[in-house]
Structure 1
Amino acid sequence: MRIFWQSFVDRDIGASYLTALQNYLNDIAAPGTRVDVAGMVPPDRDFSRLSELRCGLQAIDAALAAEERGYDCFVMGHFQDPCLYDVRSAVRIPVVGTGEATLLAASQLGRRIGLVSIDPAFEIMHYEQADLYGIGHRVKFVKGLGLTPEDFNEAFAGDAEKKVALLKGFTDCALPMVQGGADVIVPAGVLPGLLIGGEKGFMVANAPVVNCAAVALKSAEMWVQLNALSGLEPNRGPSFGYANERSRNDFRTLMAHGQNALRSN
């Protein structure tokens, strides 16, 4: 099984993180599973709706390319899942959104979910996500840490003190949520998810903390297996109708050459 994992972090700027992520995912993968992590240029660096859309469009293009290269599954390795439904309608291989998979998994572990995001700019987006996935009434708290991907680099490069400081900051952010009634905590980002990935049994007070990186990978493995067993795939009617060849070609032309190329066709 080959899984393509699309991160929204720059391969050079976030080198220590992407290396740690690829090593971690392949360490916990089932026998016979290979995970290839790809970065993005430019990365998601401005934390805005426009940046999310641009990165989402690049992810669609990457998913189409991954399918052509024979990958068995595409993972949107960015918790906000921009253009997730569009990716799902563009390819026939299973598509897993880290945010979607993690929120649905968290809803099985507790009734009231608290999300710790990287930056406050994402707070409203996460509430909208929860509404989109049908569990808006379960997500009671969202709080941003006010960090950037670069803030995690030293920890993933092996700086133990930096890791301890980040874990403390995460706990300090999540604790008021638990005190206010949250009974499960979700790191709303693969960066903080990977940070707690090596902390077995990590909790904030009595609330379990869900490792979104592990959940996304195991969801990907599950959907590949289910697809192989019975051909199970998303609804191809009104929900995720499969884009025809011309639609896919038009999109890839736009991404590769811009709007003028479409006009010439």
Structure 2
Amino acid sequence: MRIFWQSFIDHTTSAAYMTRLQDYLNAIAEPGTVIEVHGISPPDRSFGRLSEFRCAILAIDNGIAAEEAGYDAVVLGHFQDPGLLELKSAVSIPVIGTGEATLHFAAQQGRHLGLVTLDDVFRTMHFEQGDLYGLSGRISHVAGLNADPSDFSACFAGDLDAKARMIEAFRLVAEPMVAGGADVIVPAGVLPGLLIGSEHGLCFGHAPVVNCAAVALKSAEMHVRLQALNGFEPSRGPFCAKAPPQAIADFRKLVAEGRGASPLLRPGQR
């Protein structure tokens, strides 16, 4: 089984993280499963909706190429899942959204979910995810670490003091959620998810902490096995109809060639 893992981080600027992520995923994978982690350059930065949309376009194009290259599944390794439904509509192989898979798993472990996200700018997006996935009443808390991906670089490069500081920062955000009624703590990002992945049995009070990287991988393996077993795919009715070949070709041409020489307004026009 070959799994294409689409990170929204840059391979060069976050090399230690990308190496650690690929090593970790392959270490916990089933025998015979190989995970290849691919980044985006520029990465998701200057956080907000437009950056998420830009990265989604590249992730969708990469996912279509991954199916063509013979991968068995694609994981969107970005908790916000931008482009998830669009990519599901464009390919026949399983597409796993880290956020979707993790939130549904966490909802089986407790009633109220507390999400620790990378930055407060993502709070609204996570509540919107809850609405989309039918879990809006289950997400009780969302708060940000207000960290940059580069803040994790030293942790993944082996700096134990840096790792301890980051876990402490995570604790300071998570514990008030538990005091406020959260049953499960969800690192709403693969960066913090991978950080706590080596902390076996980590809990804050009564609340277990979900390892979203592991959940996304194991979900991908399960979906590949189930598709092979009984041909299962997403609903191809109104929810996620398969995109016609022309729509896919038009999308990929736009990504490859850009808008061309006829923008709506040329420089100097009003």
TM-score tier after normalising by the smaller chain length: over 0.9
What are the Cα deviations for residues 11-53 of structure 1, in whole angstroms up to 9, with x where unaligned? 0001000000000000000000000000101100111100000
1: CA distance, partners of 2:142 / 2:131: 13
Alignment partner, residue 122 of structure 1: 122
**Number of aligned pairs?**
263
Alignment partner, residue 25 of structure 2: 25
2: CA distance, partners of 1:122 / 1:169: 18
1: CA distance, partners of 2:205 / 2:20: 27
Alignment partner, residue 211 of structure 2: 211
How far the C-alpha of 1:261 sits from its partner, in A, is 7.8
How far the C-alpha of 1:94 sits from its partner, in A, is 0.2
1:55 aligns with 2:55: yes
SS of residue paired to 1:92: coil
Instruction: State the one-letter code of the partner of 1:135.
Output: L
Alignment partner, residue 39 of structure 2: 39
How far the C-alpha of 1:244 sits from its partner, in A, is 1.3
Preserved contact between residue 254 and residue 262 of structure 1 (Cα < 8 Å): no
1: CA distance, partners of 2:243 / 2:71: 19
Instruction: State the one-letter code of the partner of 2:172.
Output: D
1:189 aligns with 2:189: yes
2: CA distance, partners of 1:235 / 1:261: 38
Shift of the 104–261 alpha-carbon distance from structure 1 to 2, 3 Å rule, reads farther
2: CA distance, partners of 1:204 / 1:66: 39
Alignment partner, residue 77 of structure 1: 77
How far the C-alpha of 1:76 sits from its partner, in A, is 0.2
Give runs of aligned pairs for residues 1-265 of structure 1, distance below 5 A.
1-260=1-260
SS of residue paired to 2:75: strand
Q: List structure 1 runs of 4+ shifted beyond 4 angstroms.
A: none
Instruction: State the one-letter code of the partner of 1:182.
Output: A
Instruction: State the one-letter code of the partner of 2:139.
Output: V
2: CA distance, partners of 1:80 / 1:257: 27
Instruction: State the one-letter code of the partner of 1:243.
Output: A
How far the C-alpha of 1:83 sits from its partner, in A, is 1.3
SS of residue paired to 1:233: coil
Identity %: 59
1: CA distance, partners of 2:219 / 2:31: 15
How far the C-alpha of 1:260 sits from its partner, in A, is 2.4
Gaps of 5+ in 2: 264-270
2: CA distance, partners of 1:74 / 1:162: 31
SS of residue paired to 1:176: helix
2: CA distance, partners of 1:135 / 1:146: 24
